[in-house]
Homo-oligomer: A and B are copies of this chain.
Amino acid sequence: MSARAGIVVTGTEVLTGRVQDRNGPWIADRLLELGVELAHITICGDRPGDIAAALRFLAGEGTDLIVTSGGLGPTADDMTVEVVAHFCGRELVLDDVLEEKIAAILKRLRARFTDVDFDAVRAANRKQAMVPAGAQILDPVGTAPGVMVAGKPTVLVLPGPPRELQPMWHTAVQMPGLQEAIAGRTEYRQDMVRMFGLPESGLAETLREAQGQIDGFDRLEITTCLRRGELEIVTRYEPDAAPVYAELLRVLREHHARQIFSEDGSLVDDQVAALLTGRRIATAESCTAGLVAARLTDIPGSSGYVAGGVVAYANEAKSGMLDVDAELIETHGAVSEPVAEAMARGALRRFDADTAVATTGIAGPGGGTKDKPVGTVCFSVLLADGPTLTRTLLLPGNRSDVRERSTTVAMHLLRRALLGAKDPAALRD
């Protein structure tokens, strides 16, 4: 047994990409938590024919539950309830109690909109009190009520604004009708491994090997994803397949011990933040030009350990603000390991810090040479009480990719150096 669901997101502004849909992913997450299998999210505009088609499609795919978002407002293009009523073969009826509730809400709001004709507003909102006969009503969070029509599939109709949809979902999920619809749900666990420095194809090879080695491998639902230069491996499994997952983890560790940096969902940002506690860091950035400092300070409380940084874009700034010898730049070029190290040293001294990270590279599109093509980036991490790590990498992609990827590399080098200060074994290449 299992329970399968689909999501219908409505709204022309979402379909055309003017507004980013936040409801689909949010409901998807809630369904996953419940152990309901999500088949499809569909997004369509405010055309009744397209909404009806999406409902028929999802019902045809054997869903037990369809959740819709949007189209519950008072204006003429808000058609979701009407379309759902027709789809479920129910009449639309005026719910008197609901109408009074909406009127009361509008009365409270009235004070704020003194220049609006209240009777017109109320008439427009009467439409929102029309519900499919026999539907269960979810009280408005804003002015729009939600409705649930039990059946095969059960349809749950929620409003578009996330601040209304989210509390209403939590109410709906408690209702017996919804619990019945998803009675077949399976309990799942979900675990994540994060790696850095491994190409996706290398992981694919390991997973193929694991498939041959591990009994019950097919009980693991594995998704891999390359994000910001990191590989994420997410595995879902039923609780009694935990030993199979443990085996997978063993194989991954065996092949990629150096590349795995997280097995508990933590981000490199969190890890670096924890490692920096009690320290004082300064940045010296050329090609990333502030992105490393911005990423470090994205975390609340980072003012406890971030002293500051220099964006040394021009060579004079490298010399004047970070004491990089102009001759060093002359000899090795601004994009070179000696200059990266000198930048880190300068930042350490100037900010009276104990930890420094420096980047200098060619983000493109111009500036590349045969020896140092676009994407060449030098990194240096310097610890007053520990190792200096200096690296040169050739990073793929366009200007913005190179800058973003460089920022991620800088975070990982920082992590490595900070771990190395505690345990030199962490530095083995």
* Residues on the B chain within 8 Å of A113, using CB: 198-199, 202
Min C-beta distance of A72 to chain B, whole Å: 12
0 or 1 for each of A1-29: is its CB under 8 Å from B? (1 = yes): 00000000001110111111000111011
Known contacts A313-B307, A399-B300; is-contact A207 B75 (Cβ 8 Å):
yes
State how many copies of this chain the complex holds: 2
Find out whether the CB atom of A25 lies under 8 angstroms from the CB atom of B17. yes
Q: Which residues of A (22-80) have their CB < 8 Å from a CB of B?
A: 24-26, 28-29, 32, 38-46, 50, 53-54, 57, 61, 73-77
Q: Kindly identify which residue among B28, B74, B290, B364 contacts A291, using a CB–CB cutoff of 8 Å.
A: B290
Find out whether the CB atom of B44 lies under 8 angstroms from the CB atom of A39. yes
Min C-beta distance of A369 to chain B, whole Å: 15
Known contacts A117-B205, A225-B19; is-contact A317 B307 (Cβ 8 Å):
yes
A303 within 8 A of partner (CB): yes
Find out whether the CB atom of A202 lies under 8 angstroms from the CB atom of B308. no
A311 within 8 A of partner (CB): yes
A109 within 8 A of partner (CB): yes
Q: Which of A73, A112, A293 gathers most chain B CB within 10 Å?
A: A293
* Residues on the B chain within 8 Å of A54, using CB: 40
A245 within 8 A of partner (CB): no
Find out whether the CB atom of B109 lies under 8 angstroms from the CB atom of A199. yes
Find out whether the CB atom of A321 lies under 8 angstroms from the CB atom of B350. yes
Q: Kindly identify which residue among B17, B221, B290 contacts A285, using a CB–CB cutoff of 8 Å.
A: B290
Bound-state Cα–Cα, A320 to B396, Å: 37
* Residues on the B chain within 8 Å of A203, using CB: 75
A116 within 8 A of partner (CB): yes
Known contacts A43-B24, A121-B205; is-contact A38 B19 (Cβ 8 Å):
no
* Residues on the B chain within 8 Å of A11, using CB: 225
A339 within 8 A of partner (CB): no
* Residues on the B chain within 8 Å of A18, using CB: 223, 225, 232, 234
Q: Which of A29, A205, A283 gathers most chain B CB within 10 Å?
A: A205
A316 within 8 A of partner (CB): yes
Find out whether the CB atom of B351 lies under 8 angstroms from the CB atom of A321. yes
Q: Which residues of A (293-320) have their CB < 8 Å from a CB of B?
A: 293-294, 296-298, 300-303, 306-314, 316-317, 320
25 contacts across the A-B interface (CB closer than 8 A): A12-B221, A13-B234, A18-B232, A20-B20, A43-B43, A53-B57, A73-B204, A75-B204, A76-B204, A116-B198, A120-B201, A120-B205, A125-B201, A285-B290, A288-B294, A289-B306, A290-B290, A290-B291, A290-B294, A294-B294, A297-B311, A298-B399, A308-B317, A309-B311, A316-B351
Chain A residues near B (Cβ < 8 Å): 11-13, 15-20, 24-26, 28-29, 32, 38-46, 50, 53-54, 57, 61, 73-77, 109, 111-113, 116-117, 120-121, 124-125, 142, 161, 163, 198-205, 207-208, 221-227, 232, 234, 283, 285, 288-294, 296-298, 300-303, 306-314, 316-317, 320-321, 350-352, 364-367, 393-394, 396-401, 403
